[in-house]
């Protein structure tokens, strides 16, 4: 804040600007951009926008000195042609380049390029969740060995600050759980199904038309994209290694308008959640659609917005909300990391925060997790069927909170059961029994309830 | 993340712990706590809780070496007696103390103690919004001169990370606006009025019983507390000096159950908002109750929770939600700053981020701000009155979006008008006319609409 008299303030402001001007000449930090797709173009635009401000904000000026692209011939409006190169070696050998910004995505060649850059003593910013979720520790160790920064705020929840808040702002807490809507495509689809009564296919088609969903939407709708983000969030929140393969993943393809209607009937909404919990020293990490009470802060996160809900032993409930994808939101997160590096270069403290995984906690199998469960079944509509179902549940030790039965034509009925909170394995046992029962035609869906 | 094979990970984890153990012996950083009230006790508890983790998290161990208290005789369960002192000089002269944590609050003696600590080369963490909103720049300059940190995350919105996210995580953005529910007391009162139909006095009484409101609630219900937070938020968001006196402030004491009912009728909720906008280089900073659409993310922030909604030119809409007060939530924010300082000490980069006000933007008078307005009036119930009211508005250039009239007994009627978006001055002119009109008995309330 600037709480002094005007003359004094103006004098200092002027000084600061002269200082900034001076620095602009003296200490320009050169950066290379690997990739000029959506995010890359966003980063390039932001650097241009912020040129005047950066010296005042960081004490340093930033210059994008080289941009690695595949196709040198492609027209790239607004980008100075002489910056383009198709040779990473050229960037690697340029000792003036202190920051490498990787926005090509995928494992290779991104991994090799980042490793080479780190070993060459260059700081790296990446938005690459696949790479961090798979090889984060190896990369972070290499960064530490060479006393440089490897930052990846943009790899989870796009523009929403969440990696740095977990590493710094909530560092005085023992994090108990992290629950996030970290995939905008599926949140958009579920929002349309809930608010406009679309069925899944229609909502997916709409998402594809709007560019929210890829031509092949598998990674989004099957929860793989969210799973990678959960692995990263869990590792940072609990200071212990969690990889994508440790994460139990369910998508939203089984959700129908019937489930949406029952959610509404019970005062819930269905959201695809990435969940990481520290259960007494065991880590639970999963992605699945969940019945969430309407008054939960995550329930009102609509359309393609993301949000991460964090519970700490000191801070209590806290939530971070915003755009999980898109050119400029993602570029905003990349720029935040770039500014951190500029400030670190100025103070000579690159590598200030490295890998924070100093624990080795076991994973908790999904069968041992405890929830209420929503089970929707198609059954034969005759006396005794409901008794049979509730009897089976009782045998398996599953108590029932609620039962709804709706009769259809051709003597079929739909039975929906909400169980009391219980370990998942007992519900699974009951479902195995149901599958063997001649009077239960179909187990239409099973959802966990918050 | 830790993405390597088990042996390797365990080996490194072990190393890390040995390293941490070693550091614990070698580099213990001593801190002094000024004040042992609610927040002070919270900080003391958190430091105890985190003792084992701090070396692994920051590479340093922290020790609360001294605690400044008024009353040496008072029983303080859980606090080691020998740490207590009633002499600040003793703390100031102790060259081993590198961090001073000020949680006494108020302007003096807090200001003198912080200035002395900074000049003695000690890093300072404070939760003191009154002090930062009044003398922040002077304190920050002193910190810069002595190359130490002065951090104040806890001064705004308690446990919610917002100061650091604005200074670092969103630093690549031009911030367009900051809108916050930054006073839990008034949000609790408005929530009770909205959800349980309480009137203001009843809700205030309840808040006082729960300890949310002081015996003298003026600073909360008149918006002064929120106003100080807005001054701090605006200064950081727009990089330009904003002091409490620059902030236009209205409280919630005029809100009645009638206004709550009309808000409901129009699909809105009433929230006390702290608002800071950069309107083309002019800063608008104000606190007032506002009619907010129910689907706005801030509308679902209930009870004593706080949230800050930030719009950036790159990130778009983002929101930070959590506990704005309380022992441990506030201590969580203080601890975040303490951990930053520990990491800075380890890297020798204290003062890494100082004052970020490098601009000198003018303030925009409230009369020039533009909104829709809700005006509730008690009028004489006879033909022509409504025509007179709408006529006056037309003369003043105020277009009407909605009019509702409700007839009472003894030929009085209540008229509620929602205007189109217009500059505040024109509405004020119309209201002056109304006050002169014999058929308008009372202008019951005026609220801005989002």
Of B132, B168, B336, which has the smallest distance from its Cβ to A339's Cβ?
Answer: B168
What pLDDT was estimated at residue A410?
Answer: 83
Do residues B204 and B247 lie in contact, with contact meaning Cβ atoms separated by under 8 Å?
no
Give the residue with greater pLDDT, B194 vs B18: B194
Say whether pLDDT at B12 is over 60: no
Q: Over the stretch B259-283, which tens digit does the pLDDT of each residue have?
A: 999 999 999 999 999 999 999 999 9
3-state class percentages of chain A: helix first, strand second, coil last, to nearest 5: 40, 25, 30
In terms of domains, do B79 and B94 share one?
Answer: yes
Q: Over the stretch A118-169, which tens digit does the pLDDT of each residue have?
A: 999 999 999 999 999 999 999 999 999 999 999 999 999 999 999 999 999 9
Phi/psi for B350 (5° steps) reads -65, 145
In terms of domains, do B388 and B285 share one?
Answer: no
What pLDDT was estimated at residue A409?
Answer: 79
In terms of domains, do B215 and B271 share one?
Answer: yes
- Concatenating the DSSP letter of every residue in A271-338 gives EEEEEEEEETTEEEEEEEEEEEETTSGGGG--TTEEEEEEEETTTEEEEEEEE-SSHHHHHHHHHHHH
Q: Over the stretch A220-230, which tens digit does the pLDDT of each residue have?
A: 999 999 999 99
Structural domain for B400, as ranges: 367-449
**Among the ranges given (A2-6, A59-63, B151-155, B296-300), the one the predictor scored with the smallest mean pLDDT:** A2-6
B398-401 CB contacts, 8 Å cutoff, 24+ apart = B398/B422, B398/B426, B398/B427, B398/B430, B401/B372
Please give the helix or strand (H or E) that residue B89 lies within, else none: helix B88-93
Say whether pLDDT at B133 is over 80: yes
Report the 10 Å Cβ neighbour count for B427. 23
In terms of domains, do B411 and B336 share one?
Answer: no
In-domain check, residue B355: no
- Where does the pLDDT of residue A340 fall: very low under 50, low under 70, confident under 90, or very high at 90 and above? very high
Q: Over the stretch A245-271, which tens digit does the pLDDT of each residue have?
A: 999 999 999 999 999 999 999 999 999
What pLDDT was estimated at residue B270?
Answer: 98
Say whether pLDDT at B9 is over 90: no
Of B171, B312, B336, which has the smallest distance from its Cβ to A170's Cβ?
Answer: B336
Instruction: Check whether the bond before A169 is cis (ω within 30° of 0).
Output: no
| Global pTM value | 0.93
- Where does the pLDDT of residue B26 fall: very low under 50, low under 70, confident under 90, or very high at 90 and above? low
Tell me which chain A residue has its CA closest to the CA of residue B321.
A319
Handedness of CA B299, B304, B310, B316 (dihedral sign): negative
Number of domains making up chain A: 3
- The Cα A34–Cα A106 span in angstroms is 12
**How close is the nearest chain A Cα to the Cα of B230, in Å?**
11
What pLDDT was estimated at residue A385?
Answer: 94
Q: Which of A177, A134, A170 is nearest to A273 (CA)?
A: A177
In-domain check, residue A352: no
Catalytic residue (choose from A111, A129, A192, A229)? A229
In-domain check, residue A1: no
CATH number (domain holding residue B438): 3.30.70.260
In terms of domains, do B75 and B169 share one?
Answer: no
What proportion of chain B, given as a percentage, has pLDDT over 70? 94
- The Cα B94–Cα A26 span in angstroms is 40
CB of A20 less than 8 A from some CB of B: yes
Mean pLDDT of A204-221: 94
In terms of domains, do A102 and A178 share one?
Answer: no
Say whether pLDDT at A8 is over 60: no
Q: In Å, what is the CA distance from A80 to each residue of A68, A83, A101, B179? A: 13, 6, 17, 38
What pLDDT was estimated at residue B20?
Answer: 46
Mutate to test the interface with B, among A54, A299, A315 (most CBs of B within 10 A): A315
What pLDDT was estimated at residue A342?
Answer: 97
What pLDDT was estimated at residue A26?
Answer: 54
3-state secondary structure (DSSP) of residue B248: strand
Burial class (CB in 10 A: 0-12, 13-18, 19+), B420: exposed
Mean pLDDT estimate for chain A: 93
Which residues 6+ apart lie within 8 Å of A360 measured at CB? A240, A241, B2, B9, B10, B13
The owner of tokens 């929101």 is: B319
Which residues 6+ apart lie within 8 Å of A410 measured at CB? none
In terms of domains, do A34 and A130 share one?
Answer: yes
What pLDDT was estimated at residue B445?
Answer: 97
Do residues A219 and A182 lie in contact, with contact meaning Cβ atoms separated by under 8 Å?
no
This complex has an ipTM of 0.92
Q: Is A192 a catalytic residue?
A: no
- Concatenating the DSSP letter of every residue in A212-263 gives SS-SS-HHHHTTHHHHHHHHHHHHHHHTB---GGGSEE--STT--HHHHHHH
Q: Which of A319, A301, A303, A322 is nearest to A311 (CA)?
A: A319
CB of B231 less than 8 A from some CB of A: yes
Phi/psi for B219 (5° steps) reads -60, -35
Q: In Å, what is the CA distance from A276 to each residue of A122, A224, A237, A363, A425? A: 33, 15, 9, 10, 19
Which residues 6+ apart lie within 8 Å of B377 measured at CB? B389, B414, B415, B416, B417, B434, B440, B441, B442, B443, B444
Please give the helix or strand (H or E) that residue B435 lies within, else none: helix B424-436
Phi/psi for A77 (5° steps) reads -55, 135
Burial class (CB in 10 A: 0-12, 13-18, 19+), A85: middle
- The Cα B125–Cα B339 span in angstroms is 10
In-domain check, residue A9: no
Mutate to test the interface with A, among B148, B169, B281 (most CBs of A within 10 A): B169
Say whether pLDDT at B13 is over 90: no
Do residues A338 and B172 lie in contact, with contact meaning Cβ atoms separated by under 8 Å?
yes
Counting DSSP H helices and E strands in chain A, the numbers are 15, 17
Which residues 6+ apart lie within 8 Å of B84 measured at CB? B36, B66, B67, B69, B72, B76
Task: Bin B447: left if φ > 0, else alpha if -120 < ψ < 50, else beta.
Answer: beta
Tell me which chain B residue has its CA closest to the CA of residue A329.
B315
- The Cα B240–Cα B359 span in angstroms is 5
| Strand pairing report for A316-323 and A150-151 | unpaired
Mean pLDDT of A394-400: 96
In terms of domains, do A170 and A307 share one?
Answer: yes
A contacts of B3 (beta carbons < 8 Å): 133-138, 241, 243
A445: DSSP letter: E
- Where does the pLDDT of residue A1 fall: very low under 50, low under 70, confident under 90, or very high at 90 and above? very low
- Concatenating the DSSP letter of every residue in B166-180 gives IIIITTTS-EEEEEE
In terms of domains, do A143 and A49 share one?
Answer: yes
In terms of domains, do B404 and B372 share one?
Answer: yes
In-domain check, residue B356: no
In terms of domains, do A392 and A421 share one?
Answer: yes
3-state secondary structure (DSSP) of residue A365: coil
Mean pLDDT of A38-55: 96
- Where does the pLDDT of residue A15 fall: very low under 50, low under 70, confident under 90, or very high at 90 and above? very low
Q: Do A328 and B318 touch (CB under 8 A)?
A: no
Do residues A270 and A194 lie in contact, with contact meaning Cβ atoms separated by under 8 Å?
yes
Do residues A153 and A331 lie in contact, with contact meaning Cβ atoms separated by under 8 Å?
no
CB of B56 less than 8 A from some CB of A: yes
In terms of domains, do A90 and A109 share one?
Answer: yes
Do residues A17 and A56 lie in contact, with contact meaning Cβ atoms separated by under 8 Å?
yes
What pLDDT was estimated at residue B301?
Answer: 97
Q: Over the stretch B149-175, which tens digit does the pLDDT of each residue have?
A: 999 999 999 999 999 999 999 999 999
- Where does the pLDDT of residue B21 fall: very low under 50, low under 70, confident under 90, or very high at 90 and above? very low
CB of A153 less than 8 A from some CB of B: yes
Q: Which of B308, B322, B362 is nearest to B175 (CA)?
A: B308
Of A160, A351, A352, which has the smallest distance from its Cβ to B318's Cβ?
Answer: A160
CATH number (domain holding residue B182): 3.30.360.10
- The Cα B159–Cα B323 span in angstroms is 6
Q: Which of A438, A361, A366, A426 is nearest to A396 (CA)?
A: A426
- Concatenating the DSSP letter of every residue in A375-417 gives EEEEEE-STTHHHHHHHHHHHTT--EEEEEEEE-STTEEEEEE
Mean pLDDT of A199-221: 94
Give the residue with greater pLDDT, B144 vs B4: B144
What pLDDT was estimated at residue B380?
Answer: 95
Q: Over the stretch A427-438, which tens digit does the pLDDT of each residue have?
A: 999 999 999 999
B368: DSSP letter: G
Do residues A338 and A101 lie in contact, with contact meaning Cβ atoms separated by under 8 Å?
yes
Structure token pair of residue A39 = 């995010």
Which residues 6+ apart lie within 8 Å of B5 measured at CB? none
Burial class (CB in 10 A: 0-12, 13-18, 19+), A281: exposed
In-domain check, residue B357: no
CATH number (domain holding residue B129): 3.40.50.720
Say whether pLDDT at A393 is over 70: yes
Report the 10 Å Cβ neighbour count for A120. 16
CB of A15 less than 8 A from some CB of B: no
In-domain check, residue B149: yes
- The Cα B204–Cα B211 span in angstroms is 10
Do residues B286 and B369 lie in contact, with contact meaning Cβ atoms separated by under 8 Å?
yes
Q: Over the stretch A167-206, which tens digit does the pLDDT of each residue have?
A: 999 999 999 999 999 999 999 999 999 999 999 999 999 9
Mean pLDDT of B221-233: 98
- Where does the pLDDT of residue A408 fall: very low under 50, low under 70, confident under 90, or very high at 90 and above? confident
- The Cα B57–Cα B86 span in angstroms is 32
Of B1, B140, B334, which has the smallest distance from its Cβ to A232's Cβ?
Answer: B1
Q: At what angle do helices A327-347 and A38-50 cross, to 10 degrees?
A: 50
Q: Over the stretch A297-330, which tens digit does the pLDDT of each residue have?
A: 999 999 999 999 999 999 999 999 999 999 999 9
- Where does the pLDDT of residue B16 fall: very low under 50, low under 70, confident under 90, or very high at 90 and above? very low
In-domain check, residue B21: no
Q: Do B318 and A315 touch (CB under 8 A)?
A: no
């Amino acid at each position: 804040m600037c709480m002094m008299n005007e003359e004094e303030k103006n004098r200092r402001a002027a000084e600061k600007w002269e200082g900034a001007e001076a620095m602009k000449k003296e200490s320009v930090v050169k950066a290379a951009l690997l990739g000029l797709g959506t995010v890359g173009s966003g980063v390039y635009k932001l650097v241009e926008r912020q040129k005047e401000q950066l010296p005042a904000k960081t004490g340093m000026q930033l210059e994008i000195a080289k941009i690695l692209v595949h196709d040198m011939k492609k027209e790239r409006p607004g980008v100075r042609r002489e910056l383009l190169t198709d040779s990473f070696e050229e960037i690697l050998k340029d000792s003036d380049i202190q920051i490498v910004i990787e926005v090509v995505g995928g494992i290779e060649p991104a991994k090799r390029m980042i490793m080479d850059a780190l070993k060459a003593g260059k700081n790296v910013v990446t938005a690459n969740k696949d790479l961090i979720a798979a090889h984060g520790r190896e990369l972070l160790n290499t960064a530490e060995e060479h006393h440089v920064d490897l930052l990846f705020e943009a790899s989870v929840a796009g523009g929403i600050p969440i990696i740095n808040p977990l590493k710094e702002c909530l560092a005085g807490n023992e994090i108990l759980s992290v629950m996030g809507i970290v995939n905008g495509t599926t949140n958009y689809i579920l929002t349309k199904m809930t608010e406009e009564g679309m069925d899944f296919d229609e909502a997916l088609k709409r998402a594809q038309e709007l560019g929210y969903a890829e031509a092949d939407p598998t990674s989004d709708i099957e929860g793989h994209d969210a799973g990678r983000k959960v692995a990263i969030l869990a590792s940072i929140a609990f200071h212990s290694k969690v990889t994508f393969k440790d994460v139990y993943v369910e998508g939203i393809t089984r959700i129908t308008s019937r489930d949406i209607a029952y959610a509404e009937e019970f005062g819930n909404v269905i959201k695809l959640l990435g969940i990481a919990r520290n259960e007494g020293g065991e880590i639970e990490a999963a992605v699945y659609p969940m019945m969430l009470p309407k008054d939960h802060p995550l329930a009102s996160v609509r359309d393609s917005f993301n949000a991460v809900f964090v519970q700490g032993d000191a801070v209590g409930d806290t939530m971070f909300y915003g755009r999980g994808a898109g050119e400029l939101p993602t570029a905003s997160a990349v720029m935040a990391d770039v500014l951190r590096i500029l400030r670190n270069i100025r103070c000579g403290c690159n590598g200030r925060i490295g890998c924070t995984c100093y624990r080795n906690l076991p994973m908790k199998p999904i069968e041992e997790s405890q929830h209420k469960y929503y089970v929707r079944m198609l059954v034969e509509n005759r006396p005794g069927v409901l008794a049979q179902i509730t009897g089976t549940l009782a045998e398996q030790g599953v108590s029932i909170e609620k039962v709804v039965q709706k009769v259809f034509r051709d003597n079929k009925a739909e039975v929906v059961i909400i169980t009391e909170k219980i370990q998942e394995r007992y519900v699974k046992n009951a479902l195995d029994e149901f599958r063997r029962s001649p009077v239960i035609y179909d187990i239409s869906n099973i959802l966990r309830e918050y």
